[in-house]
Amino acid sequence: MHAKLEELKQRLLEANDLQSANALLSWDQTTYMPSGGAEARARQMSTLSRLAHECFTDPAIGKLLDELRSYENSLPYNSDDASLIRVTRREYERLVNLPSAFVAEFTNHSATIYQAWTEARPANDFNRVRPLLEKTLDLSRRIADYFPGYTHIADPLIDFADYGMKAESVRQVFAQLREQLVPLVKAITSQNAADDSCLQQDFPENQQLEFGLAVIKDYGYDFQRGRQDLTHHPFMTKFSLGDVRITTRVKRNDLGDALFSTLHESGHAMYELGINRAYEGTPLANGTSAGVHESQSRLWENIVGRSRGFWEHYYPRLQALFPTQLKHISLDTFYRAINKVQKSLIRVDADEVTYNLHVLLRFDLELQLLEGKLEVRDLPEAWHERYETDLGMTAPDDRDGVLQDVHWYSGWIGGVFQGYTLGNILSGLYYGAALQAHPSIPAEIAQGKFDTLHGWLRQNIYQHGAKYTAAELTERVTGGPLRIEPYVSYLKTKYGELYALA
């Protein structure tokens, strides 16, 4: 191998080790850490972020990237070496714009506001986090300003998560989607809502967790290289390609909460676990964008995990696990319950059809905050107003209003939410491509078999890691650019049957 490339990889590995250690500090903070550890933990994460950033943006890496340019140009674009150099350069040029001291300040602040949020949300006390959130907004603007020349202040922030997308391009896609969703939601919610009371019985937590784990084992999540723990707000995290973990939360009186969060996070995890192990410790060993990542969590959670075929296989097992609760509930009733469409307040609990409305309003609020058209102190009210307008209801408090999502309380504002809806759109697009290649997939799902689907995803998406941009990957997989039609068609077909729409 090229000696300079070997040197580059060694340096990348060191930065990666620091990042991985930091990921563990964060995982522990949100799973097992006693509260007394919070203050030092914030400092430790700040220190490691700074050191990882210093390590990754070391001028020696810039020099190696320059020296490797002719080697890169001598290789096919898609070769592993050329891709490693290209993607590393992109990340390097991005991160070198952020001073390490700023990264440390930001990380320290993130840990502080996260801890405050874990207390403010149960206390329904937005004011406890308001000054911290104002600082988050200020820091978010400062991030954007490290990338001068943008069209919209959110562009650099969106670019971190969904490389290649801009505020304007996201707005256009979202406008198209809204045009399809609003009448669909209206047509469904003008009918009687499905009865989902069967999900709100008493389901002992351990059995709920066991069931979810059994399903994702069938999916192909590798427990030799992962595990699930409990937390406030479920997430996936990676410490290496040999250790990709998920977290969930469980509610005794809500059968859907833990289960679908487990299926969701397993999709994220299987993506990371499917990456070519030769990429370990390099920037290629990541998902390619927030949207593509989310396409996989939503695919396994919804397209697979809320399909009728899936439950033809699993419902008898679930009934056997919870006989008193479910023996008199038919598969049809259960299937309608887990796909109940209703205007609601909580994004993560929202059904597939209304879910994107939750995202679209958050995206708009982020832009307004960044543009200075909305003040943080007015955010709770703006939140309520927007829910009233878009979903026809207002949260009784901030706990289920502006405090509901962890994102603004653990990262920056801007570019945070669009990935969820881009992911939904991509899930429909990619699943359509998988079906085209393997029409047998739905029948296999109905037998609890996922090898063909998982194998196709590994082959076409997972193994590549961050080698291709989201746009390149979509082009390779579907032969064209991002488009909403397959996703909209999936929604209309599924919910058309469920609600007998015209």
Catalytic residue annotation: 265
Write down the least CB distance from residue 57 to a copy of itself, Å.
16
CA distance 56 to 96: 8
Cβ nearer to a copy of itself, comparing 38 with 348? 38
Residue choice 28, 138, 145, 497 for contact with a copy of itself (CB under 8 A): 28
Binding segment for a copy of itself (CB under 8 A), chosen from 66-74, 216-224, 340-348, 470-478, is 216-224
CA distance 299 to 428: 8
175 to 214: interface string for a copy of itself, x by CB under 8 A: ----------------------------------------
Residue choice 2, 4, 11, 43 for contact with a copy of itself (CB under 8 A): 43
Write down the least CB distance from residue 374 to a copy of itself, Å.
37
Binding segment for a copy of itself (CB under 8 A), chosen from 191-199, 223-231, 462-470, 480-488, is 223-231
Cβ nearer to a copy of itself, comparing 227 with 313? 227
Write down the least CB distance from residue 257 to a copy of itself, Å.
23
SS3 222: coil
Write down the least CB distance from residue 322 to a copy of itself, Å.
23
Question: Number of residues in contact with a copy of itself, rule: CB under 8 A?
Answer: 40
In the block, tokens 């469409």 appear at: 341
111-142: b (≥16 Cβ within 10 Å) or e: bbbbbbbbebbeeebbeebbebbebbbebbbe
Examine residue 388 and tell whether it contacts a copy of itself (CB under 8 A): no
Tell me the β-bridge partners of 251. Answer: 254
SS3 16: helix
CA distance 296 to 245: 15
Residue numbers 272-311 binding a copy of itself by CB under 8 A: 280-281
Contact status, residue 356 vs residue 403, Cβ threshold 8 Å: no
Residue choice 156, 220, 226, 287 for contact with a copy of itself (CB under 8 A): 226
Examine residue 230 and tell whether it contacts a copy of itself (CB under 8 A): no
Write down the least CB distance from residue 214 to a copy of itself, Å.
17
CA distance 272 to 165: 22
Residue choice 67, 222, 400, 475 for contact with a copy of itself (CB under 8 A): 222
Residue numbers 232-271 binding a copy of itself by CB under 8 A: 239-243, 245
DSSP sequence for 157-202: HHHHHSTT--HHHHHHHHHHHHHHHHHHHHHHHTSPPP--GGGSS-
Contact status, residue 391 vs residue 354, Cβ threshold 8 Å: yes
Examine residue 54 and tell whether it contacts a copy of itself (CB under 8 A): no
Examine residue 35 and tell whether it contacts a copy of itself (CB under 8 A): yes
Binding segment for a copy of itself (CB under 8 A), chosen from 30-38, 179-187, 333-341, 358-366, is 30-38
CA distance 462 to 295: 12
CA distance 170 to 148: 20
For 66-124, the three-class secondary structure string (H helix, E strand, C coil) is HHCHHHHHCCCCCCHHHHHHHHHHHHHHHHCCCCHHHHHHHHHHHHHHHHHHHHHCCCC
Residue choice 7, 17, 81, 472 for contact with a copy of itself (CB under 8 A): 17
In the block, tokens 């543009």 appear at: 371
Cβ nearer to a copy of itself, comparing 17 with 472? 17
Examine residue 18 and tell whether it contacts a copy of itself (CB under 8 A): yes
Contact status, residue 173 vs residue 482, Cβ threshold 8 Å: yes
Name the nearest CA neighbour of 196 among 342, 312, 58, 54.
342
- For residue 249, the Cα-to-chain-centroid distance in whole angstroms is 16
Examine residue 37 and tell whether it contacts a copy of itself (CB under 8 A): yes
Binding segment for a copy of itself (CB under 8 A), chosen from 33-41, 165-173, 401-409, 440-448, is 33-41
Q: Name the residues that contact a copy of itself, by CB under 8 A.
A: 13-14, 17-18, 20-22, 24-25, 28, 32-41, 43-44, 47-48, 51, 222-227, 229, 239-243, 245, 280-281
